[in-house]
Chain A
């Protein structure tokens, strides 16, 4: 891991954590010490940052992350019903990963797609006007 590159970037810890997570899928607890020494920080500081942000995970997740928007614009279009369906369909709650390791489910608060709610993000792609039926189709097409 090119820790050196980030140690010289002002405020480089977030970019570094993003890169670790992008390559490993999560930020394993046993990388914290190396990150801390590479960045000239304490382990507590690094752990503090990882635990502060919703995006960073210290446990492995599924191959594909599914986010359901829980914010107001999506609520106005039925996201509360959608999220119940998604949880039941995947058989997991928010924060969970399916037994086969394919999917993780996370809540998200706004994807900036609010004129065509409800919104779901699967990996880096956003889908608009998602209802239970459309969600099932999206899932089958993956």
Chain B
């Protein structure tokens, strides 16, 4: 047989957690048994996690998908004529026709899942390094201006305009500057950074390199959380490949300009996702939050001007440069420009990564893309924006997802994590957990965040035991106010957000016995 069938099976963490490795092994076994000539490509994932393990086969220039596939399905698949025939119950048709994927507006995640993440050729064939090529022909000030004009705001959660941050670092005169990528994606319900690093690592390297050129930095660090061992392997290989190809190093694209990247692994501290704590950790210290000012853009890593950006912000820059700020800017709503990466998580039927323009409502995402709960029960509450984000009741699910609209209802978008709970959720338990998490992860530098959450747990325990209810609620609000206004960073400052939202929107859950 002369025609080699190319079969794509994701190597992504979640796909493998669902058995993708076993599927790949079984495809290999079955193909050998039948003496079929197949090439198995371990691709990244497209992020349609509810369909993983998702297998794709190239036929007539298109990709036909099968999923979710268990290793035990593979023999039957071959018996039905695979890969020559695609007749099978688990056949999903052309992957590009899967509605869940086709109705997204993928810019940053356009390449995710299409090819071997470590193939530089595949990356370039799909438009990769076009942004860097343009940047190499531009002045530093013009690169920064393009990023500013795109309206891109920090995707880590704080939503600070990326261009303004870069301009500040560019304006600083210093012998050494740094680009730091915050890949300490600690929020529960988020996995977009991980997916991007595992599926399209060159995009992050390209974005960081563009940033280095823009602000005059020659050294970049990726601060990666230790919970992502696979991303670490992929990134290190990608860095080696890019360096060999002259896309990192002392002479980027034969321009004479230099930029290096190193990956540093965190050590299991949520607080190190806070940028100043992250910098302390990169310096080899305890991850204690720093006072601001000085801003990291002025005195950052090792006291030098430093850009600290989230993975998705740096990745988005490649699109801004390659296709122009106007192109990127045309997506979005209000002051939230470009695309939003939502991660549908928790008790959700069709969970995964959805990239669309800002402005869709929470309901459209959770019910439309998400298809409701996995348990089949009604949705009880939705936590948006990670463990420090608000729990939203049904009355707020029509809020459009953009930074300002969520702030307007006392919530936040954060890093785009959406965690769905069904109606069996106990919101008093969730409120207590918010304090428990803060107590565990606080760096301990400021008193409200160090002491506050411990008091918070005690107060909620008293409420549960019906001890001085009225006084306890008053004390709880007082504590939230103190943490909100008196904490040094968002850890202590935002812990009241999930607590207050639980108390305000789900009062019945604080009336014991709530569980029945």
Q: Which residues of A contact B (CB under 8 A)?
A: 10-15, 17-18, 39, 45, 48-49, 52-56, 69, 71-77, 108-117, 119, 121, 124-129
Q: Which residues of B contact A56 (CB under 8 A)?
A: 267
**CB of B327 to closest CB in A, whole Å:** 29
- Whether B13 pairs with A76 at a CB distance below 8 angstroms is no
A112 and B387 contact, CB distance less than 8 A: no
Q: Are B419 and A72 within 8 A (Cβ)?
A: yes
CA distance A39 to B284 in the complex (A): 10
Closest to A18 in B: B265
Known: A76-B347, A113-B14, A114-B343. A49 touches B419 (CB 8 A): no
A76–B420 CB distance below 8 A: yes
Question: Whole-angstrom distance from the CB of A59 to the nearest CB of chain B?
Answer: 16
Q: Are A114 and B345 in contact (CB under 8 A)?
A: yes
> What are 21 A-to-B residue pairs whose CB atoms are below 8 Å?
A11-B264, A11-B282, A11-B283, A15-B265, A53-B269, A72-B189, A72-B387, A73-B188, A75-B346, A77-B374, A109-B188, A109-B387, A109-B437, A112-B185, A112-B193, A114-B351, A114-B417, A114-B419, A125-B17, A126-B14, A126-B17
Query: Chain B's nearest CB lies how many Å from the CB of A111?
Result: 5
Closest Cβ of chain A to B409, distance in Å, is 19
Given A75-B433, A115-B14, A124-B229, A109 contacting B190 (CB threshold 8 A): no
User: Is B508 on the interface with A (CB-CB < 8 A)?
Assistant: no
Q: Are B186 and A110 in contact (CB under 8 A)?
A: yes
**Smallest distance from the beta carbon of B435 to chain A beta carbons, Å?**
13
Residues of chain B lying within 8 A (CB to CB) of residue A55: 226, 266-268
Contact A129 B286 (CB under 8 A): no
Asked if B228 CB lies within 8 Å of chain A CBs, one says yes
Complex Cα gap A17–B441 (Å): 20
Q: What A residues does B18 contact at CB under 8 A?
A: 116, 128-129
Separation of A125 and B287 alpha carbons in the complex (Å): 27
Shortest Cβ distance from B244 into chain A, in angstroms? 22
- Cα–Cα, bound, A109→B388 (Å): 13
Q: How far apart sit A49 and B230, CA to CA, in the bound complex (Å)?
A: 25
| Cβ-defined contact, A109 with B267, below 8 A | no
Interface membership of chain B positions 309-324, coded 1 if the CB is closer than 8 angstroms to chain A and 0 otherwise: 0000000000000000
| Known contacts A14-B267, A116-B14: A76-B346 contact under CB 8 Å | yes
Residues of B24-83 whose CB lies within 8 A of A: 49-50, 52
Once bound together, how far apart are the Cα atoms of A69 and B18, in whole Å? 16
Flag if B430 contacts A14 (CB, 8 Å): no
Contact bitstring B331-359, A, C-beta under 8 A = 1, else 0: 00000000000011111100111000000
Nearest chain A CB to B42 CB, angstrom units: 16
For residues 422 through 458 of chain B, which have their beta carbon under 8 Å from a beta carbon of chain A? 422, 425, 430, 433, 437, 440-441, 443
Q: How far is the CA of A39 from the CA of B283 in the complex (A)?
A: 12
B268 touching A53 by the CB < 8 A rule? yes
Interface residues of B in 241-294 (CB under 8 A from A): 264-270, 281-287
A77 to B343 CA separation, bound complex (whole angstroms): 16
Q: How far is the CB of A119 from chain B (nearest CB, A)?
A: 7
Most chain B CB within a 10 A radius of its CB, from A48, A49, A71, A108: A71
Q: Which residue of B lies closest to A72 (CB)?
A: B188
Contacts of B430 in A (CB 8 A): 72, 75
Judged by a CB distance under 8 angstroms, whether B501 is at the interface is no
Report if B510 contacts A (CB, 8 A): no
| Known contacts A39-B284, A115-B343; 16 further A-B pairs (Cβ under 8 A) | A11-B282, A14-B282, A18-B226, A52-B286, A53-B287, A55-B267, A72-B383, A73-B417, A75-B346, A76-B345, A77-B374, A112-B191, A115-B191, A116-B49, A121-B227, A128-B14
The distance in angstroms between the C-alpha atoms of A119 and B49, with both chains bound, is 14
User: Could you say which residues of chain B place their CB within 8 Å of the CB of A76?
Assistant: 345-347, 419-422, 425
